[in-house]
Amino acid sequence: MQTRRFEGKVVLVTGAGSGIGLAAARAFAAEGAKVVLADLAEDKVRANAQEIQQDGGIASSIRVDVSDYPSCEQMVDHTVSTFGGLHIAFNNAGIPSPIDPEFENCSVQEWDRVMGVNLNGIFYAMKAETPALRAAGGTAIINTASAASFIANPGMPSYIASKHGVAGLTKAAALDLVKYGIRVNAVCPGVVNTPMLAAASAAPEMRAAMEAQIPIGRIATPQEIAESVLFLASDAASYLVGSFIRVDGGMTLS
């Protein structure tokens, strides 16, 4: 029987246009949550929210640019005016960086763009969400960090730094918000089969090489990441504060 752990809860998901965010939005809705799907890709979140509604779920959508603070405030205002509050936020929107082995080829523009979405975006979202979470008695923030929050890969300094930053920011916010009953934690995917991965590794031989480096021997599905997001959002994770769940098939063990 399908569990309904989030019946009546209002859940906000950024980056819900595709991949991990969409999988989490669907999973929260299937468990009774009222879900706001937010993304830069307005058409995608509109279609995804309609699909959830057609499946019997409760959903709304809004365009957001998480690298823009007023846009994050509008996203939270939309959530509160549509569903009456905010209980759980999944801050997941992110972008990859180009891979270039020459460190000095990372341009200042690329650095600012990646940090703007991946790190500023998490801070802006959490800053905008906190008053609404406190007002509604909200209980959980989950941020999408990465295996790249713990290890470095060659040729992607902006992405690695942004995801290390998400880890630090998650710890800092966890300490500051726990007194309000808000648990802040992070999910740390390894390699996941999403459009972001497709963009980074179009060639089949590149995928095979990637899989060979993952101890479990395969790439994760977005649903496998969503499972841990829902766990962190649930009452079963009531004592997890500033934790990192590495959903990476063993990638960061050695």
Ligand X SMILES: NC(=O)c1ccc[n+]([C@@H]2O[C@H](COP(=O)([O-])OP(=O)(O)OC[C@H]3O[C@@H](n4cnc5c(N)ncnc54)[C@H](O)[C@@H]3O)[C@@H](O)[C@H]2O)c1
Using CB under 6 A as the binding criterion, the count of chain residues that bind ligand X stands at 29
Q: Among 130, 144, 158, 228, which residue sits at the site for ligand X (rule: CB under 6 A)?
A: 144
Sign of the torsion formed by the C-alpha atoms of 183, 22, 70 and 96: positive
Residue 32 or 95: the one with the smaller Cβ distance to ligand X is 95
What is the CB neighbour count within 10 angstroms for residue 157? 18
The verdict on 114 binding ligand X (CB under 6 A) reads no
Measured CA to CA in angstroms, residue 238 lies from 15, 123, 133, 201 at distances of 25, 23, 16, 38
Residue 29 or 32: the one with the smaller Cβ distance to ligand X is 29
Residues 210 to 249: which contact ligand X by CB under 6 A?
A: none
Length of the chain: 254
Q: Which residues contact 41 (CB under 8 A, 6 or more apart)?
A: 17, 18
The verdict on 117 binding ligand X (CB under 6 A) reads yes
Residue 152 or 178: the one with the smaller Cβ distance to ligand X is 152
Asked if residue 130 lies in contact with residue 169, where contact means CB atoms within 8 angstroms, the answer is no
Asked if residue 243 lies in contact with residue 214, where contact means CB atoms within 8 angstroms, the answer is no
* Alpha-carbon span 21 to 27, nearest angstrom: 10
Residue 179 identity (one-letter amino acid):
K
The verdict on 19 binding ligand X (CB under 6 A) reads yes
The verdict on 91 binding ligand X (CB under 6 A) reads no
Stretch that binds ligand X, among 18-26, 77-85, 169-177, 234-242 (CB under 6 A): 18-26
Q: Which residues contact 161 (CB under 8 A, 6 or more apart)?
A: 115, 119
Q: Among 195, 215, 217, 250, which residue sits at the site for ligand X (rule: CB under 6 A)?
A: 195
The active-site residue out of 69, 159, 180, 239 is 159
Asked if residue 75 lies in contact with residue 127, where contact means CB atoms within 8 angstroms, the answer is no
Maximal C-alpha separation, the chain? 54
Three-class SS of residue 174? Answer: helix
Shortest Å distance, C-beta 15 to ligand X: 3
Stretch that binds ligand X, among 5-13, 65-73, 80-88, 150-158 (CB under 6 A): 65-73
The verdict on 138 binding ligand X (CB under 6 A) reads no
Radius of gyration of the chain (CA): 17
Shortest Å distance, C-beta 170 to ligand X: 13
Q: Among 92, 97, 130, 170, which residue sits at the site for ligand X (rule: CB under 6 A)?
A: 92
Whether 159 is a known active-site residue: answer yes
Residues 35 to 54: which contact ligand X by CB under 6 A?
A: 39-41
- Using CB under 6 A as the criterion, which residues of the chain lie in contact with ligand X when the complex forms? 14-15, 17-21, 39-41, 64-67, 92-95, 117, 121, 144, 146, 189, 191-192, 194-197
Residues belonging to the active site:
159
